[in-house]
A = this chain, B = another copy of it.
Amino acid sequence: MDTKQVKVHNKTMIAGIIGATGYAGAELVRLLYRHPEIEKLALSSVSFEGEFIQDVYPSFLNNISYPLLKAEEVITLSDVVFSALPHGVGEPYAAACMERRIHFIDLSADFRFDDDEEVYSAWYGKKYQFSELHKKSVYGLTEFNRRRIKELSASGPVIVGNPGCYPTGASLGAYPALSKGLIDGDSRLPIIINSVSGASGGGREPSRSFHYSECADSVSPYKVASHRHSPEIARNIAAMACFSGGNAPRVIFTPHLAPMNRGILSAIYIPLSEKWRITSGPVLPPSKDNEEAAEKIRELYKDFYKNEPFIRVLPADLSAATNRVRQSNYCDISVHLDINGSTLIVITAIDNMVKGAAGQAVQNMNVLYGFDEKSGLEAIPMLF
């Protein structure tokens, strides 16, 4: 047996989830339980070890019933391991998985900055413990890194750093514009990303910010100019811009909390290069020229994403909305041109718990194993 190879898939594939009782962990349970290639789950929890997952989430009653084990036990039992632990504690488990020759998909930030420990440690307050692991890892924005994820899986077990929820919606919205050189290269023109998230993004632990009476019926920004997803978004956008020979633009990111359960809506403001701008006079309703220029860019987006199973570039009469992607792995994108003709406005909507966390992790597993990328992710968005 060639120990350099990752464990092959067989009919009794077991997926392990470390940290299964947080929101992202539980959403992974829900998705993987119905995944056609997964036979069983193995779950761990520090807080609820010894109990059953359905005791913590009674929604699962009569369906899903697994004991909550120790992380080490889960790793021993599993063919692939997902980690939904908090930032900064997962590296030893990643190391253990590498040793066992099984893939490790990490939903924390620990493997999102592999080239840049300085940025990681500045924002997350920790140094890398196992530096060599960060050479085996890949950033799991599937639509951007699909090929690399696949390639790495050919030569051994892989660590996937699953993206943050905000960076997913922001990066997918900017990607075509950056790749196709639509953006003005002038370094003084920033890309501005204004995002609104539902409360499930705050996780399961009660706190004042997510106490019903404090956040219901209200909208507010938080961590303005200081959210930890800022460097991840900036890095992604730089990579996408450089990929097409452009400069890394400045990026401004402001997250907000809105009174909804799930969803992230991002408005992405991209300054257009001269070629894509149209001239405009006073502030009048969108002209026919404006609409045509918008449609041209919309078509470019549609073409760019035409083979992507989870990206829907919407027609001109629709704007992206979080309730139309709820519980699905879709990223809906609507493309607009400002009336002044010089700024592209891209709106993206994702379910923060699915495409923004657990769903994308499953998508990455599908890529790693060569499964149909849609396996286990075929939920149609709820209507209401």
Residues of A at under 8 Å CB distance from B? 23, 26-27, 30, 33-34, 57-64, 118-119, 122-123, 184, 186, 188-190, 192, 194, 196, 198-200, 202, 204, 206-208, 210-222, 224-226, 230-231, 234-235, 250-252, 254, 256, 258-263, 265, 267, 269, 271, 282-286, 290, 294, 312, 314, 318-327, 330, 334, 336-340, 342-343, 345, 347, 349, 353, 378, 380-384
This chain's copy number in the assembly: 4
**Chain B residues closer than 8 Å to A23, beta-carbon distance:** 213, 383-384
Considering only CB atoms, which chain B residue lies closest to A290 in the complex? B225
**Chain B residues closer than 8 Å to A225, beta-carbon distance:** 286, 290, 294, 336-339, 345
**Chain B residues closer than 8 Å to A224, beta-carbon distance:** 319, 334, 336, 345, 347
**Least distance between A199 CB and chain B CB atoms (Å):** 4
Q: In this complex, which of A260, A314, A380, A381 has the most chain B Cβ atoms within 10 angstroms of its Cβ?
A: A380
Whether A260 touches B382, Cβ cut-off 8 Å, given contacts A211-B210, A225-B338, is no
- A345 in contact with B254 (CB, 8 Å): yes
- A322 in contact with B226 (CB, 8 Å): no
- B212 in contact with A211 (CB, 8 Å): yes
- B190 in contact with A188 (CB, 8 Å): no
Considering only CB atoms, which chain B residue lies closest to A280 in the complex? B250
- A59 in contact with B327 (CB, 8 Å): no
Q: CA–CA, A211 to B254, complex, Å?
A: 23
Pairs A–B under 8 Å by Cβ, sample size 8: A59-B382, A64-B380, A206-B208, A210-B213, A218-B263, A225-B337, A226-B285, A258-B260
**Chain B residues closer than 8 Å to A285, beta-carbon distance:** 122-123, 226
- A221 in contact with B347 (CB, 8 Å): yes
**Chain B residues closer than 8 Å to A219, beta-carbon distance:** 196, 258, 260, 263, 265, 321-322
Q: CA–CA, A152 to B166, complex, Å?
A: 50
- A340 in contact with B215 (CB, 8 Å): no
Whether A214 touches B384, Cβ cut-off 8 Å, given contacts A225-B345, A230-B283, A339-B225, is yes
**Neighbour of A312 across the interface among B26, B61, B294, B314, CB < 8 A:** B61
Whether A58 touches B314, Cβ cut-off 8 Å, given contacts A196-B196, A260-B218, A383-B30, is yes
**Least distance between A246 CB and chain B CB atoms (Å):** 17
**Chain B residues closer than 8 Å to A206, beta-carbon distance:** 206-208, 210-211
**Chain B residues closer than 8 Å to A318, beta-carbon distance:** 58
**Least distance between A293 CB and chain B CB atoms (Å):** 11
